Structure 1
Amino acid sequence: MFSLWNQVLQLDQCGRSMPDYILLATLARCPNNLPALTTLSLKGACRLSDTGLKAIISAAPNLRSMNLSQCSLLTCDGVICLSNSLGSVLRELYLDNCEAIEPMFILPALLKLEHLEVLSVAGIPTVCDAFIKEFVTHRGQSLREIVLKGCMELTDCSLKEISLNCPGLRAIDLSDLLKLTDSAIGHLATGCRAVDYLKLCRNAFSDEAVAAYVETSGDSLKELSLNSVNKVSHNTAMSLAKCSKNLISLDLSWCRNLTNEALGLIVDNCLSLEVLKLFGCTQVTSAFLDGHSNPQVQIIGMKMTHIVQHIEAPDSLKQGPLRYSAVPSLF
Protein backbone atom coordinates (compact mmCIF):
# COMPACT_ATOMS: atom_id res chain seq x y z
CA MET A 1 0.00 0.00 0.00
CA PHE A 2 1.29 3.46 -0.88
CA SER A 3 1.73 5.89 2.00
CA LEU A 4 1.30 9.65 1.83
CA TRP A 5 4.81 9.89 3.25
CA ASN A 6 6.59 7.75 0.65
CA GLN A 7 9.26 9.53 -1.36
CA VAL A 8 9.42 7.17 -4.37
CA LEU A 9 6.59 5.74 -6.48
CA GLN A 10 7.36 3.56 -9.48
CA LEU A 11 4.50 2.51 -11.76
CA ASP A 12 6.52 1.54 -14.83
CA GLN A 13 4.73 -0.22 -17.67
CA CYS A 14 1.33 0.41 -16.15
CA GLY A 15 0.12 0.76 -19.74
CA ARG A 16 -3.62 1.10 -20.19
CA SER A 17 -4.32 0.57 -16.46
CA MET A 18 -3.46 4.17 -15.54
CA PRO A 19 -5.84 6.47 -17.45
CA ASP A 20 -6.61 9.94 -16.16
CA TYR A 21 -9.77 8.96 -14.28
CA ILE A 22 -7.86 6.36 -12.24
CA LEU A 23 -5.24 8.94 -11.27
CA LEU A 24 -7.91 11.44 -10.30
CA ALA A 25 -9.62 8.84 -8.11
CA THR A 26 -6.45 7.61 -6.39
CA LEU A 27 -3.10 9.39 -6.38
CA ALA A 28 -4.29 12.81 -7.49
CA ARG A 29 -7.51 13.12 -5.51
CA CYS A 30 -6.76 16.69 -4.43
CA PRO A 31 -3.96 19.27 -4.53
CA ASN A 32 -0.96 18.58 -2.29
CA ASN A 33 -2.19 15.20 -1.07
CA LEU A 34 1.26 13.70 -1.80
CA PRO A 35 3.53 16.31 -0.20
CA ALA A 36 6.48 13.97 0.44
CA LEU A 37 6.64 12.39 -3.03
CA THR A 38 9.92 13.32 -4.71
CA THR A 39 10.36 10.62 -7.38
CA LEU A 40 7.61 9.40 -9.69
CA SER A 41 7.92 7.06 -12.66
CA LEU A 42 4.96 6.59 -14.99
CA LYS A 43 7.00 5.08 -17.80
CA GLY A 44 4.76 3.43 -20.35
CA ALA A 45 1.51 4.98 -19.09
CA CYS A 46 0.07 5.11 -22.60
CA ARG A 47 -3.33 6.50 -21.48
CA LEU A 48 -1.92 9.35 -19.41
CA SER A 49 -2.87 12.70 -20.97
CA ASP A 50 -1.94 16.29 -20.18
CA THR A 51 -4.99 16.46 -17.89
CA GLY A 52 -3.77 13.56 -15.76
CA LEU A 53 -0.25 14.96 -15.67
CA LYS A 54 -1.52 18.32 -14.42
CA ALA A 55 -3.47 16.59 -11.67
CA ILE A 56 -0.50 14.54 -10.45
CA ILE A 57 1.75 17.60 -10.46
CA SER A 58 -0.82 19.46 -8.37
CA ALA A 59 -0.99 16.55 -5.93
CA ALA A 60 2.81 16.24 -5.65
CA PRO A 61 4.26 19.77 -5.74
CA ASN A 62 7.68 18.70 -4.43
CA LEU A 63 8.63 16.28 -7.21
CA ARG A 64 12.35 16.28 -7.96
CA SER A 65 12.37 13.43 -10.49
CA MET A 66 9.72 12.52 -13.07
CA ASN A 67 9.88 9.74 -15.65
CA LEU A 68 7.29 10.19 -18.41
CA SER A 69 8.98 7.96 -20.98
CA GLN A 70 6.67 6.27 -23.51
CA CYS A 71 3.68 8.36 -22.40
CA SER A 72 2.50 8.71 -25.97
CA LEU A 73 -0.52 10.97 -25.33
CA LEU A 74 1.46 13.74 -23.66
CA THR A 75 1.91 16.95 -25.61
CA CYS A 76 3.84 20.17 -25.21
CA ASP A 77 1.05 21.56 -23.00
CA GLY A 78 1.78 18.94 -20.35
CA VAL A 79 5.49 19.80 -20.28
CA ILE A 80 4.69 23.52 -20.08
CA CYS A 81 2.43 22.87 -17.08
CA LEU A 82 5.15 20.78 -15.48
CA SER A 83 7.74 23.53 -15.83
CA ASN A 84 5.38 26.22 -14.54
CA SER A 85 4.64 24.18 -11.42
CA LEU A 86 7.99 22.48 -10.73
CA GLY A 87 10.47 24.93 -12.24
CA SER A 88 12.27 25.59 -8.97
CA VAL A 89 12.42 21.99 -7.69
CA LEU A 90 12.60 19.45 -10.57
CA ARG A 91 16.05 17.94 -11.09
CA GLU A 92 15.40 14.95 -13.36
CA LEU A 93 13.10 14.66 -16.38
CA TYR A 94 12.74 11.64 -18.67
CA LEU A 95 10.75 12.08 -21.89
CA ASP A 96 12.01 9.08 -23.88
CA ASN A 97 9.93 8.17 -26.93
CA CYS A 98 7.30 10.85 -26.29
CA GLU A 99 6.92 11.44 -30.00
CA ALA A 100 3.96 13.83 -29.69
CA ILE A 101 6.26 16.32 -27.98
CA GLU A 102 8.09 18.73 -30.26
CA PRO A 103 11.45 19.61 -28.64
CA MET A 104 11.70 23.15 -29.98
CA PHE A 105 8.18 23.95 -28.72
CA ILE A 106 8.99 22.82 -25.17
CA LEU A 107 12.41 24.50 -25.10
CA PRO A 108 11.18 27.64 -23.25
CA ALA A 109 9.54 25.37 -20.67
CA LEU A 110 12.71 23.33 -20.16
CA LEU A 111 14.71 26.51 -19.64
CA LYS A 112 12.49 27.30 -16.64
CA LEU A 113 13.77 24.19 -14.86
CA GLU A 114 16.39 26.07 -12.89
CA HIS A 115 18.10 23.08 -11.26
CA LEU A 116 17.71 20.37 -13.90
CA GLU A 117 20.51 17.80 -13.64
CA VAL A 118 19.21 14.95 -15.83
CA LEU A 119 17.44 15.25 -19.19
CA SER A 120 16.55 12.20 -21.25
CA VAL A 121 15.01 12.67 -24.70
CA ALA A 122 15.95 9.30 -26.19
CA GLY A 123 14.01 8.23 -29.24
CA ILE A 124 12.48 11.60 -30.04
CA PRO A 125 13.35 11.94 -33.74
CA THR A 126 12.96 15.72 -33.93
CA VAL A 127 15.65 16.51 -31.36
CA CYS A 128 18.09 18.61 -33.37
CA ASP A 129 21.37 20.51 -33.02
CA ALA A 130 19.57 23.81 -32.52
CA PHE A 131 17.63 22.38 -29.57
CA ILE A 132 20.77 21.00 -27.92
CA LYS A 133 22.70 24.25 -28.43
CA GLU A 134 19.98 26.41 -26.89
CA PHE A 135 19.33 24.06 -24.00
CA VAL A 136 22.93 23.51 -22.90
CA THR A 137 23.84 27.16 -23.39
CA HIS A 138 21.32 28.07 -20.69
CA ARG A 139 21.21 24.95 -18.50
CA GLY A 140 24.50 23.16 -19.16
CA GLN A 141 26.25 24.33 -16.00
CA SER A 142 23.94 22.28 -13.77
CA LEU A 143 23.58 19.30 -16.14
CA ARG A 144 24.99 16.01 -14.88
CA GLU A 145 23.43 13.55 -17.34
CA ILE A 146 21.95 13.71 -20.82
CA VAL A 147 20.49 10.80 -22.79
CA LEU A 148 20.37 11.30 -26.56
CA LYS A 149 20.05 7.70 -27.71
CA GLY A 150 18.37 7.43 -31.10
CA CYS A 151 18.10 11.19 -31.73
CA MET A 152 19.13 10.54 -35.29
CA GLU A 153 19.39 14.14 -36.50
CA LEU A 154 22.19 15.11 -34.12
CA THR A 155 25.64 15.85 -35.50
CA ASP A 156 29.06 16.68 -34.11
CA CYS A 157 27.84 20.25 -33.57
CA SER A 158 25.75 19.09 -30.62
CA LEU A 159 28.74 17.43 -28.97
CA LYS A 160 30.77 20.59 -29.44
CA GLU A 161 28.09 22.61 -27.63
CA ILE A 162 27.86 20.02 -24.84
CA SER A 163 31.63 20.09 -24.39
CA LEU A 164 31.63 23.89 -24.17
CA ASN A 165 28.72 24.23 -21.77
CA CYS A 166 28.52 21.13 -19.56
CA PRO A 167 31.72 20.97 -17.48
CA GLY A 168 30.09 18.87 -14.74
CA LEU A 169 28.60 16.21 -17.02
CA ARG A 170 28.85 12.76 -15.45
CA ALA A 171 26.88 10.54 -17.85
CA ILE A 172 25.98 10.64 -21.53
CA ASP A 173 24.31 8.16 -23.87
CA LEU A 174 25.20 8.66 -27.54
CA SER A 175 23.93 5.31 -28.82
CA ASP A 176 22.51 5.03 -32.34
CA LEU A 177 23.60 8.46 -33.58
CA LEU A 178 24.75 7.63 -37.07
CA LYS A 179 25.66 11.20 -38.07
CA LEU A 180 28.37 11.45 -35.45
CA THR A 181 32.01 11.23 -36.51
CA ASP A 182 35.24 10.83 -34.58
CA SER A 183 35.18 14.56 -33.89
CA ALA A 184 32.22 14.07 -31.57
CA ILE A 185 34.12 12.07 -28.97
CA GLY A 186 37.07 14.40 -29.46
CA HIS A 187 34.84 17.27 -28.33
CA LEU A 188 33.61 15.22 -25.40
CA ALA A 189 37.14 14.45 -24.23
CA THR A 190 38.10 18.11 -24.44
CA GLY A 191 35.28 19.65 -22.43
CA CYS A 192 33.63 16.97 -20.27
CA ARG A 193 36.42 15.48 -18.21
CA ALA A 194 34.27 14.11 -15.38
CA VAL A 195 32.19 11.61 -17.39
CA ASP A 196 32.09 8.25 -15.60
CA TYR A 197 29.18 6.62 -17.50
CA LEU A 198 29.48 6.58 -21.30
CA LYS A 199 27.49 4.76 -23.97
CA LEU A 200 28.69 4.86 -27.58
CA CYS A 201 26.75 1.83 -28.85
CA ARG A 202 26.15 1.16 -32.54
CA ASN A 203 28.17 4.08 -33.88
CA ALA A 204 30.91 4.25 -36.51
CA PHE A 205 33.71 5.62 -34.34
CA SER A 206 37.19 4.46 -35.28
CA ASP A 207 39.47 2.38 -33.09
CA GLU A 208 41.91 5.29 -32.96
CA ALA A 209 39.27 7.80 -31.83
CA VAL A 210 37.93 5.58 -29.04
CA ALA A 211 41.48 4.86 -27.90
CA ALA A 212 42.31 8.58 -27.87
CA TYR A 213 39.23 9.31 -25.75
CA VAL A 214 40.20 6.64 -23.24
CA GLU A 215 43.77 7.99 -23.12
CA THR A 216 42.40 11.42 -22.21
CA SER A 217 39.42 10.60 -19.98
CA GLY A 218 39.64 6.90 -19.16
CA ASP A 219 40.67 7.44 -15.56
CA SER A 220 37.22 8.79 -14.66
CA LEU A 221 35.25 6.03 -16.44
CA LYS A 222 33.32 3.54 -14.31
CA GLU A 223 30.91 2.20 -16.94
CA LEU A 224 31.64 2.10 -20.66
CA SER A 225 29.55 0.54 -23.42
CA LEU A 226 31.08 0.03 -26.86
CA ASN A 227 28.43 -2.50 -27.91
CA SER A 228 28.53 -2.87 -31.72
CA VAL A 229 31.22 -0.23 -32.25
CA ASN A 230 32.63 -2.52 -34.89
CA LYS A 231 35.99 -0.83 -35.45
CA VAL A 232 37.11 -1.17 -31.84
CA SER A 233 40.32 -3.19 -31.81
CA HIS A 234 43.86 -3.32 -30.40
CA ASN A 235 44.34 0.44 -29.92
CA THR A 236 41.28 0.66 -27.70
CA ALA A 237 42.39 -2.41 -25.75
CA MET A 238 45.81 -0.86 -25.12
CA SER A 239 44.28 2.40 -23.90
CA LEU A 240 41.77 0.65 -21.64
CA ALA A 241 44.51 -1.45 -20.10
CA LYS A 242 46.66 1.60 -19.44
CA CYS A 243 44.14 4.29 -18.49
CA SER A 244 40.97 2.71 -17.06
CA LYS A 245 41.95 1.65 -13.57
CA ASN A 246 38.55 2.62 -12.13
CA LEU A 247 36.41 0.86 -14.75
CA ILE A 248 33.76 -1.38 -13.17
CA SER A 249 31.55 -2.40 -16.11
CA LEU A 250 32.58 -2.78 -19.77
CA ASP A 251 30.38 -3.85 -22.68
CA LEU A 252 32.30 -5.05 -25.74
CA SER A 253 29.48 -7.10 -27.25
CA TRP A 254 29.71 -7.62 -31.02
CA CYS A 255 33.20 -6.06 -31.11
CA ARG A 256 34.61 -8.90 -33.18
CA ASN A 257 37.97 -7.29 -33.98
CA LEU A 258 39.13 -7.82 -30.39
CA THR A 259 41.36 -10.86 -30.08
CA ASN A 260 41.85 -13.15 -27.10
CA GLU A 261 45.12 -11.34 -26.41
CA ALA A 262 43.52 -7.89 -26.51
CA LEU A 263 40.75 -8.92 -24.13
CA GLY A 264 43.29 -10.52 -21.82
CA LEU A 265 45.24 -7.27 -21.75
CA ILE A 266 42.12 -5.38 -20.67
CA VAL A 267 41.00 -7.81 -18.00
CA ASP A 268 44.47 -8.35 -16.53
CA ASN A 269 45.10 -4.62 -16.15
CA CYS A 270 41.65 -3.19 -15.27
CA LEU A 271 41.70 -4.51 -11.74
CA SER A 272 38.46 -2.77 -10.68
CA LEU A 273 36.54 -4.46 -13.50
CA GLU A 274 33.62 -6.53 -12.22
CA VAL A 275 31.52 -7.16 -15.35
CA LEU A 276 32.62 -7.71 -18.95
CA LYS A 277 29.88 -8.27 -21.55
CA LEU A 278 30.83 -10.18 -24.67
CA PHE A 279 27.55 -11.03 -26.41
CA GLY A 280 28.11 -11.87 -30.05
CA CYS A 281 31.90 -12.15 -29.71
CA THR A 282 32.21 -15.48 -31.50
CA GLN A 283 35.95 -14.96 -32.00
CA VAL A 284 36.63 -15.38 -28.26
CA THR A 285 37.86 -18.80 -27.19
CA SER A 286 38.80 -20.64 -24.02
CA ALA A 287 42.33 -19.27 -24.40
CA PHE A 288 40.97 -16.00 -23.00
CA LEU A 289 38.17 -17.33 -20.82
CA ASP A 290 40.46 -19.71 -18.96
CA GLY A 291 43.71 -17.80 -19.33
CA HIS A 292 43.17 -14.32 -17.86
CA SER A 293 44.39 -13.53 -14.35
CA ASN A 294 41.55 -11.41 -12.93
CA PRO A 295 39.48 -13.59 -10.57
CA GLN A 296 36.84 -10.96 -9.73
CA VAL A 297 35.61 -10.17 -13.25
CA GLN A 298 32.40 -11.86 -14.37
CA ILE A 299 32.22 -12.47 -18.10
CA ILE A 300 28.71 -12.70 -19.49
CA GLY A 301 27.29 -13.22 -22.93
CA MET A 302 29.44 -16.19 -23.87
CA LYS A 303 27.95 -19.65 -24.32
CA MET A 304 26.85 -21.27 -21.06
CA THR A 305 27.35 -18.16 -18.91
CA HIS A 306 24.67 -17.00 -16.49
CA ILE A 307 23.04 -13.66 -17.31
CA VAL A 308 19.94 -13.38 -15.13
CA GLN A 309 21.77 -11.67 -12.28
CA HIS A 310 23.15 -9.08 -14.70
CA ILE A 311 19.84 -7.88 -16.09
CA GLU A 312 19.76 -4.19 -15.25
CA ALA A 313 17.38 -3.19 -12.50
CA PRO A 314 15.41 0.04 -12.91
CA ASP A 315 17.49 2.97 -11.75
CA SER A 316 15.11 3.83 -8.94
CA LEU A 317 15.73 0.38 -7.45
CA LYS A 318 19.50 0.64 -7.64
CA GLN A 319 19.92 3.93 -5.77
CA GLY A 320 18.23 6.66 -3.81
CA PRO A 321 15.49 9.01 -4.94
CA LEU A 322 17.83 11.13 -7.07
CA ARG A 323 20.94 10.25 -9.05
CA TYR A 324 23.13 13.22 -8.22
CA SER A 325 21.50 15.18 -5.39
CA ALA A 326 20.29 14.43 -1.91
CA VAL A 327 16.59 14.96 -1.28
CA PRO A 328 16.10 17.44 1.57
CA SER A 329 13.64 16.54 4.30
CA LEU A 330 10.36 18.40 3.99
CA PHE A 331 9.38 17.97 7.60
Structure 2
Amino acid sequence: PRLREVNVSGCVALTDVGLAALLDAAPRLAKLNVTRCPRLTDATLDRVAKNLGPSLEELVCYADSGLARYDALGGGACPNLRVLDCTGSRGLTGAAVRAVAETAGPRLASLNLSWCVAVDDEGVLGLADHCPNLELLSLHGSTHVSDAAVDALA
Protein backbone atom coordinates (compact mmCIF):
# COMPACT_ATOMS: atom_id res chain seq x y z
CA PRO A 1 0.00 0.00 0.00
CA ARG A 2 0.91 3.61 -0.44
CA LEU A 3 -0.20 4.43 3.09
CA ARG A 4 1.68 7.32 4.71
CA GLU A 5 -0.50 7.80 7.80
CA VAL A 6 -2.42 5.30 9.95
CA ASN A 7 -4.52 5.94 13.04
CA VAL A 8 -5.66 2.84 14.90
CA SER A 9 -6.30 4.63 18.19
CA GLY A 10 -8.87 2.93 20.37
CA CYS A 11 -8.55 -0.43 18.62
CA VAL A 12 -8.52 -2.26 21.93
CA ALA A 13 -8.42 -5.72 20.33
CA LEU A 14 -5.40 -4.92 18.14
CA THR A 15 -2.31 -6.98 19.01
CA ASP A 16 1.34 -6.90 18.00
CA VAL A 17 0.59 -9.55 15.36
CA GLY A 18 -2.08 -7.49 13.62
CA LEU A 19 -0.08 -4.29 13.68
CA ALA A 20 3.03 -6.13 12.45
CA ALA A 21 1.12 -7.26 9.37
CA LEU A 22 0.20 -3.66 8.63
CA LEU A 23 3.75 -2.42 9.21
CA ASP A 24 5.14 -5.14 6.94
CA ALA A 25 2.78 -4.07 4.17
CA ALA A 26 3.25 -0.30 4.57
CA PRO A 27 6.95 0.46 5.09
CA ARG A 28 6.56 4.08 3.98
CA LEU A 29 4.39 5.14 6.92
CA ALA A 30 5.35 8.56 8.21
CA LYS A 31 2.67 8.88 10.90
CA LEU A 32 1.36 6.19 13.22
CA ASN A 33 -1.15 6.63 16.04
CA VAL A 34 -1.63 3.66 18.37
CA THR A 35 -3.29 5.57 21.22
CA ARG A 36 -5.22 3.41 23.67
CA CYS A 37 -4.28 0.07 22.16
CA PRO A 38 -3.72 -1.81 25.42
CA ARG A 39 -2.76 -5.16 23.88
CA LEU A 40 0.34 -3.77 22.15
CA THR A 41 3.70 -4.57 23.75
CA ASP A 42 7.31 -3.58 23.27
CA ALA A 43 7.42 -5.95 20.29
CA THR A 44 5.46 -3.23 18.48
CA LEU A 45 8.17 -0.64 19.16
CA ASP A 46 10.79 -3.06 17.88
CA ARG A 47 8.77 -3.63 14.70
CA VAL A 48 8.14 0.10 14.20
CA ALA A 49 11.87 0.80 14.41
CA LYS A 50 12.76 -2.10 12.12
CA ASN A 51 10.09 -1.59 9.46
CA LEU A 52 9.52 2.16 9.40
CA GLY A 53 12.90 3.48 10.53
CA PRO A 54 13.83 6.53 8.45
CA SER A 55 10.29 7.10 7.12
CA LEU A 56 8.76 7.58 10.59
CA GLU A 57 8.11 11.23 11.45
CA GLU A 58 5.32 11.01 14.02
CA LEU A 59 4.44 8.37 16.61
CA VAL A 60 1.59 8.75 19.07
CA CYS A 61 1.34 6.12 21.80
CA TYR A 62 -0.86 7.95 24.30
CA ALA A 63 -2.12 5.77 27.15
CA ASP A 64 -0.36 2.60 26.03
CA SER A 65 0.99 1.29 29.30
CA GLY A 66 2.31 -1.88 27.63
CA LEU A 67 4.91 0.12 25.72
CA ALA A 68 8.12 1.06 27.52
CA ARG A 69 11.21 0.24 25.46
CA TYR A 70 11.24 3.41 23.41
CA ASP A 71 15.02 3.04 23.20
CA ALA A 72 14.24 0.80 20.19
CA LEU A 73 13.56 4.07 18.33
CA GLY A 74 17.07 5.25 19.18
CA GLY A 75 20.39 3.89 18.01
CA GLY A 76 19.92 5.50 14.62
CA ALA A 77 16.66 3.64 13.94
CA CYS A 78 14.31 6.62 13.49
CA PRO A 79 16.41 9.67 12.58
CA ASN A 80 13.51 11.68 11.11
CA LEU A 81 11.20 11.49 14.10
CA ARG A 82 9.67 14.95 14.64
CA VAL A 83 6.73 14.19 16.97
CA LEU A 84 6.58 11.63 19.76
CA ASP A 85 3.74 11.37 22.27
CA CYS A 86 4.38 8.82 25.00
CA THR A 87 1.82 10.17 27.49
CA GLY A 88 1.23 7.70 30.28
CA SER A 89 4.02 5.28 29.34
CA ARG A 90 4.96 4.43 32.90
CA GLY A 91 7.92 2.25 31.97
CA LEU A 92 9.58 4.84 29.75
CA THR A 93 12.97 5.67 31.29
CA GLY A 94 15.33 8.59 31.08
CA ALA A 95 17.82 6.36 29.26
CA ALA A 96 15.25 5.63 26.55
CA VAL A 97 14.45 9.34 26.18
CA ARG A 98 18.18 10.04 25.82
CA ALA A 99 18.48 7.33 23.12
CA VAL A 100 15.63 8.87 21.13
CA ALA A 101 17.11 12.36 21.59
CA GLU A 102 20.51 11.21 20.34
CA THR A 103 18.96 9.71 17.20
CA ALA A 104 16.25 12.26 16.34
CA GLY A 105 18.40 15.18 17.48
CA PRO A 106 17.61 18.44 15.75
CA ARG A 107 14.55 17.03 13.96
CA LEU A 108 12.60 16.36 17.15
CA ALA A 109 10.15 19.25 17.55
CA SER A 110 7.44 17.89 19.86
CA LEU A 111 7.73 15.46 22.76
CA ASN A 112 4.97 14.68 25.23
CA LEU A 113 6.21 12.84 28.31
CA SER A 114 3.22 13.64 30.53
CA TRP A 115 2.76 11.07 33.27
CA CYS A 116 5.83 9.13 32.20
CA VAL A 117 6.73 8.69 35.84
CA ALA A 118 10.04 6.86 35.27
CA VAL A 119 11.53 9.71 33.20
CA ASP A 120 14.35 11.38 35.09
CA ASP A 121 17.12 13.93 34.66
CA GLU A 122 19.08 11.68 32.28
CA GLY A 123 16.35 11.94 29.67
CA VAL A 124 15.82 15.68 30.04
CA LEU A 125 19.56 16.33 29.89
CA GLY A 126 19.68 14.24 26.71
CA LEU A 127 17.01 16.48 25.21
CA ALA A 128 18.94 19.59 26.23
CA ASP A 129 22.12 18.18 24.66
CA HIS A 130 20.70 16.86 21.38
CA CYS A 131 17.39 18.56 20.52
CA PRO A 132 17.95 22.28 19.89
CA ASN A 133 14.77 22.65 17.83
CA LEU A 134 12.38 21.19 20.38
CA GLU A 135 9.31 23.44 20.36
CA LEU A 136 6.97 21.51 22.65
CA LEU A 137 7.98 19.48 25.69
CA SER A 138 5.54 18.28 28.32
CA LEU A 139 6.93 16.82 31.53
CA HIS A 140 3.62 17.01 33.40
CA GLY A 141 3.64 14.51 36.25
CA SER A 142 7.32 13.62 35.81
CA THR A 143 8.23 13.51 39.49
CA HIS A 144 11.89 12.52 39.02
CA VAL A 145 12.91 15.59 37.01
CA SER A 146 14.95 18.12 39.01
CA ASP A 147 15.69 21.83 38.78
CA ALA A 148 19.09 21.10 37.26
CA ALA A 149 17.58 19.21 34.33
CA VAL A 150 14.96 21.85 33.66
CA ASP A 151 17.64 24.57 33.87
CA ALA A 152 19.62 22.73 31.19
CA LEU A 153 16.73 23.25 28.77
CA ALA A 154 16.98 27.04 29.10
Aligned twin of 2:132 = 271
Shift of residue 216, structure 1, vs aligned partner: 4.4
Q: Deviations over 1:90-143 (max 9, x none)?
A: xxxxxxxxxxxxxxxxxxxxxxxxxxxxxxxxxxxxxxxxxxxxxxxxxxx211
RMSD of the TM alignment (CA)? Answer: 1.6
Q: Is the 8 A contact 1:254 1:281 kept in 2?
A: yes
Q: Does 1:212 align with 2:72?
A: yes
Q: 1:165 to 1:283 in 2, by over 3 A?
A: same
SS in 2 for 1:146: strand
Q: Is the 8 A contact 2:95 2:122 kept in 1?
A: no
Q: How far apart, CA to CA, are the structure 2 residues paired with 1:224 and 1:240?
A: 10
Following superposition of structure 1 onto structure 2, how do residues 178-327 of structure 1 map, counting pairs within 5 Å? 178-193=38-53, 194-203=55-64, 204-206=66-68, 209-245=69-105, 246-289=107-150, 291-292=151-152, 294-295=153-154
Aligned twin of 2:34 = 174
Q: How far apart, CA to CA, are the structure 1 residues paired with 2:143 and 2:70?
A: 22
Greater Rg by CA: 1
Shift of residue 239, structure 1, vs aligned partner: 0.5
Q: Is the 8 A contact 2:102 2:126 kept in 1?
A: no
Q: Which amino acid aligns with 2:133?
A: S
Q: Is the 8 A contact 1:163 1:190 kept in 2?
A: no
Q: How far apart, CA to CA, are the structure 1 residues paired with 2:103 and 2:128?
A: 13
Q: 1:192 to 1:231 in 2, by over 3 A?
A: same
Shift of residue 233, structure 1, vs aligned partner: 0.6
Q: Is the 8 A contact 2:114 2:142 kept in 1?
A: yes
Return 5+ residue gaps in structure 2 as ranges. Answer: none
Aligned twin of 1:152 = 12
> Normalising by structure 1, what TM-score?
0.43
Q: Percent identity?
A: 25
Shift of residue 230, structure 1, vs aligned partner: 0.5
Q: How far apart, CA to CA, are the structure 1 residues paired with 2:76 and 2:35?
A: 21
Q: How far apart, CA to CA, are the structure 2 residues paired with 1:184 and 1:216?
A: 17
Return 5+ residue gaps in structure 1 as ranges. Answer: 1-140, 296-331
> Normalising by structure 2, what TM-score?
0.88
